[in-house]
Amino acid sequence: MPIITNIEDLRLLAQKRVPRMFYDYTDSGSWTESTYRANSSDFERIKFRQRVAVNMENRTLKTTMAGQEVAMPVALAPTGMTGMQHADGEILAARAAEKFGVPFTLSTMSICSIEDIAAHTCAPFWFQLYVMRDRDFIKRLIERAKAAKCPALVLTLDLQMVGQRHKDLKNGLSTPPKLTLPNIIDMMFKPRWCLGMLGTRRRGFGNLIGHAKDATDMASLSGWVARQFDPCLSWDDVEWIRKQWDGKLIIKGILDAEDARLAVACGADALIVSNHGGRQLDGAPSSIAALPAVVDAVGDRIEVHMDGGIRSGQDVIKALALGAKGVYLGRAFLYGLGAMGEQGVVKCLDLIRKELDLTMAFCGVTDVKRVDSNILLPGTFQAAG
Binding residues: 25, 78-80, 107, 128, 130, 156, 165, 252, 274, 276, 279, 307-311, 330-331
Positions at the binding site for FMN: 78-80, 107, 128, 130, 156, 252, 274, 307-311, 330-331
Q: With 0-12 CB in 10 A as exposed, 13-18 as middle and 19+ as buried, what is 120?
A: middle
Per annotation, catalytic residue among 86, 120, 166, 276: 276
Query: How crowded is residue 136: how many other Cβ atoms within 10 Å of its Cβ?
Result: 9
What secondary structure letter does DSSP report for 112?
S
Spatial CA neighbour of 126 closest among 94, 170, 169? 94
Amino acid identity for residue 159 in this structure: L
What secondary structure letter does DSSP report for 88?
T
Pairwise CA distance, residues 204 & 79, whole Å: 14
Q: Is residue 278 within 8 Å of residue 35, measured between CB atoms? A: yes
Q: Is 120 in the active site?
A: no
Spatial CA neighbour of 362 closest among 43, 5, 6, 56? 56
Angle, vertex CA 138, rays to CA 291 and CA 309, nearest 5: 25
Positions at the binding site for glyoxylate: 25, 165, 276, 279
Catalytic residues: 276
